[in-house]
Amino acid sequence: MSGKLKFVLVGCGRIASLHAAGYENHPDAELYGVCDKNKARAEEFAKEYGAGKVYTDYRDVLADPEADAVELLVPHHLHCELAVAACEAKKHVSVQKPMALNLAECDLMIGAAKRNGVKLKVYENFVFYPPYQRAKELLDAGEIGAPVSMRYKMNNGGLCSANRPGVEARVKQAKQDTGVELPATGWPVDAASWLWRLNDTLAGGGPLVFDDGYHKFSLITHMFGDVEKVSAWIDCSPVLPGVYQDCPAMIMWKHRAGRLYGVMDIVDSPDMYVNSKYYTCDERLELTGTRGVVWVTRCTASMMPEVAPVVMYRDGKLHEYRDMPCDWADSFRNSTQDFIEAIKLDREPVLSGECGREVLKFALAAIESARQKREIYLDEYEDKALSKKRGVLGIFGKRS
């Protein structure tokens, strides 16, 4: 026995490769096993990443006394059920974002973890992205004075991305229009890995504001603290005939701590070339203080590769920070390290179940604000019962 903590990844989809990387050569933890209903995929993944055990039934993972913890990389509607079962089996749990479909599910998960004395972490990697960490350090050190506001821009691109349907037609059209040969960008994603995200009874909401947006809502609260109220406008854009995603969207909020405000702008630019090794989604963050401004110029992708990852303007001078890793994968390694340390040191993860619940409330309140066409105070948000689950064709559709 090595004495290392033994972790099992449940779900071997596209994102699992970045989760597995966090265990490579780790002195205190190992990727003990992987679980997927697709045995061939699980075996291939285990071989590539050095996991010794392969499971095809989640119940076998929970029955294995050697497994200390699980990472749940499964569709959102399974988060609560699988997390509660793992807690009852005395396994520590890391669950991918979003934490759950509603607040009631969050409460079940938090209660199960507390009853069984195990850690519950919502696996959110953006707050662990090194350029965001540097921006937070500058903010907390008072380098730009007292914080005033933040702006977050999210550009979802499609041109030449391997993870978008209908890409070949757009590539040909773009080359015809521009005369520029552009190399393929983005990583390939199996249709099964994204189609369910367009089904709001399985995903809990739309793919941009609710799903990917959970990253941003987490980062927003991490930077400036809890949110008091939110006002949002969320439109729909076609993805396939009769299928829509939740953008463009404009979300505004006020934090509880004084006069701190923010705005997030989410758009889909299907003919924009976004250079990325991962998803073709580019994000830019701006933090404004009474004395200066901090910009983070990239995250998942990079539309400005020559610009420093972090730039600060203060007292008439521009400061560039390049002395940090800035690959999106680094954020996953850091988040995995947080999970391992939380178990080893018996502390709460950075995004505990309770914190994850507040982030989910922020996201749900934003969606409710757009629906009701008014601002929503988070303290007054009323949790909604879950909709009846529909099959894969019961997809996120155009709302009136």
Least confident window among 26-30, 164-168, 255-259, 363-367 = 164-168
> What is the model's pTM?
0.93
The whole-angstrom separation of Cα 107 and Cα 378 is 16
Contact residues for 131 (Cβ-Cβ < 8 A; gap 6+): 296, 297, 298, 299, 309, 310, 321, 324, 326
Q: Give whichever of 177-191, 234-248, 281-295 has the largest mean pLDDT.
A: 281-295
**Angle, to 10 degrees, between the axis of helix 328-344 and the axis of helix 130-140?**
70
The whole-angstrom separation of Cα 205 and Cα 201 is 7
pLDDT on residue 395: 45
pLDDT on residue 393: 44
What is residue 82's three-state secondary structure?
Answer: helix
Band the pLDDT of 160: cuts 50, 70, 90: low
* Domains contained in the chain, CATH given: 5-126+332-350 (3.40.50.720), 128-326+360-380 (3.30.360.10)
pLDDT in tens, 44-72: 999 999 999 999 999 999 999 999 999 99
**% of the chain beyond a pLDDT of 70:** 90
